[in-house]
Amino acid sequence: MNNIQSALGYAFKDGEFLRRALTLKGADENFNNESLECLGDSLIGFVAACKFYADGLDEGGITARKKAVVNDRALTEVSRSLGLDKALIKPKGAFNNKKAVPSAYEAVAAAIYLDGGMEQAQAFILRTLDFSRQERDYIALLQEALQAKRQPLPVYSHGLDEGEGGQHDFVVTVQAEGLTFIGRGGNTAAAKRDAAERAYKALFG
């Protein structure tokens, strides 16, 4: 746990907070990190909103920037950079919980708050999150835009690998407003994001 605390830049007064933050459901009969995860989710969103408000953004700007900075993909990246994915205390047997990695960051942020107070938690979040991320969630944006126009939701195809040998070139199509848009990427998730971005920009600018 000392290596993790060094990576976090915070030394816990009560190490049980950190242990609980890294313990997944089923790994310990006494506790797990689910409640900390819930608290951390709200805490991170609050700190991010405060920062963007201080930066002078309006309501729409704050919402858009939060979506780019505080999402599962962003939290997964920071969790891995801190080594939280390797420090997770997992239940025995097969394990396949993709949400566990981003949730670990949320739980650790909450653990720091409970152990050291708001000032320490805020400093940790501001120090570790990448607030310069410009990523836009076009999958969500496309769905929201279509819902606002009372149009049917987009329909995505399953990814098709058109690569050869060791080269992978996945293709995903999306149908929206009667049109079909094609996305490509190194995996199906990337191809889906590309298809959604192409559709959103073509239909909504």
Helices (H), 15-93: 15-21, 34-54, 59-69, 72-82, 84-87
> What letter would DSSP give residue 93?
S
164 belongs to the catalytic site: no
Active-site residue identified among 14, 34, 37, 106: 106
106 belongs to the catalytic site: yes
Which residues, at least 6 apart from 181, have a Cβ–Cβ distance to it below 8 Å? 173, 174, 175, 195, 198, 199, 202
- For residue 182, give the nearest of 195, 165, 169 by alpha carbon: 195
Active-site residue identified among 37, 41, 194, 197: 41
Which DSSP helix (H) or strand (E) runs through 5?
helix 2-8
Positions marked catalytic: 41, 106
